[in-house]
Structure 1
Amino acid sequence: MKRKGMLLLLIALVSLALYSKYPARTGTAAKIGAQAPAFALTALDGQTYTSEQFRGKPLIVNFWASWCEPCKVEAPALVRLHERYQDQVELVAVNITAKDRIESVRAFVSEHGLPFPVLLDERAETAQAYRIVPIPTTYLVDRSGIIADKITGAADYATFEKKITALLQR
């Protein structure tokens, strides 16, 4: 009986340790129809951006890394989207800086001419909150902060445009 109690205690302690180490894995997942996880991140320009400041306007949140080949393929579509919809939709690119190098981020932004805010997720906390696997992954958030859609993997301009058109009609 004593061994059984010790085994249960050990299981409880291991479970608690795992829960505290990986909170995003045990919390509510970012999913369509749910409130988008809040964030406050510093951008390459030194400004801090919060999810709250975008309320009232649809928001596209693109998660990426400079070493990601599909991210390189997708970048021109994001630039084109920004040019076309910048008055109707906010677009931010969240670099998972915890798994990247700031020099590489700056080079990527320069090479691809990203004109929208590039936010730095230095501890990957925002990526964890959104459960980002794989990259790129893009969330489309409506005016009230509810996740309307999600794109996993590199998307082309036509795919983005179709999703944005639906987002603007919400």
Structure 2
Amino acid sequence: MNTKPGRIPRYATASAFAALAAVVALAAFAALAGAAPLHAQAGAGQVSLAPGTQGPDATLQDLDGNEVQLLDYADGKPALFEFWAAWCEQCEELQPEIDRVQADFGDQVNVVAVAVAVAQSLRRVRRHAEAHGAEYPYLWDADGAAVRAYSATTTSIVVILDADGKVAYTGVGPDQDLVGAVTGILSAQQAGGD
């Protein structure tokens, strides 16, 4: 390596910049959520919505830039909302479970991916959605309205509303049994309807 005394090698500068960028992105996400300091690892947060409370609404954008209301996707049947980011490794690990919910219950449950606006652009979200070929809508939370409404202080958070729009399930991280949660919610709904 050919460096002059007192000069910092380029790779060290790049590593320091990457670390600083990650800290800034996490701090921005915490600020969007209006939360206490964000845990350093995606999926390490908690969900503060109490079961049985009405799911809050928020204005987001679809991938064409049109404004939509989040609760429009909870139209009389359960809705699964995942708060995610393209850079979130735990979200990627959770993806197959969400895809299973869509495949097994897509006619009974609305699945929606809510893309947080931290360290990613709408363009990046579009590319991610196209590359993954998801069979459910991706929404862009440009100003953090859904993040704040759902107290989503990290990524890989899942909230499932029942058919009445009430919080029936919350979870964080890649090891969630969403198929089991949806099965339970649909069974309770069916038992209540008899």
Matched, 1:42 2:74: no
Matched, 1:30 2:49: yes
Higher normalized helix content (fraction of residues): 1
In the TM superposition, what are the counterparts of 1:1-170 in structure 2 within 5 Å?
A: 30-50=49-69, 51-52=71-72, 54-155=74-175, 159-170=177-188
- 1:22–1:108 distance in 2 versus 1, CA, 3 Å: closer
Q: Secondary structure at the residue paired with 2:154?
A: coil
Q: Secondary structure at the residue paired with 2:160?
A: strand
TM-score, normalization by structure 1: 0.76
Counterpart residue identity of residue 182, structure 2: I
Counterpart residue identity of residue 165, structure 2: G
Contact 2:100–2:179 (CA under 8 A) maintained in structure 1: no
Contact 1:73–1:154 (CA under 8 A) maintained in structure 2: yes
Task: State the shift of 1:47 in Å.
Answer: 4.6
Distance 2:184 2:156 in 1: 21
Quote the RMSD (CA, aligned, Å). 2.4
Contact 2:74–2:161 (CA under 8 A) maintained in structure 1: no
Task: State the shift of 1:104 in Å.
Answer: 2.0
Task: State the shift of 1:152 in Å.
Answer: 0.7
Counterpart residue identity of residue 71, structure 1: C
CA-to-partner distance for each residue in 1:92-131, whole Å, 9 max, x for gaps? 1100024422232122212222221101100112101111
Number of aligned residue pairs: give it.
146
CA-to-partner distance for each residue in 1:17-64, whole Å, 9 max, x for gaps? xxxx98966xxx532221111123221144543204523101101100
Instruction: Could you tell me which runs of 5 or more consecutive residues in structure 1 were left unpaired when the two chains were aligned.
Output: 1-20
Contact 1:30–1:37 (CA under 8 A) maintained in structure 2: no
Q: Secondary structure at the residue paired with 2:104?
A: helix
Task: State the shift of 1:153 in Å.
Answer: 1.0
Task: State the shift of 1:169 in Å.
Answer: 2.1
TM-score, normalization by structure 2: 0.67
Distance 2:103 2:32 in 1: 38
- 1:101–1:142 distance in 2 versus 1, CA, 3 Å: same
Q: Secondary structure at the residue paired with 1:133?
A: coil
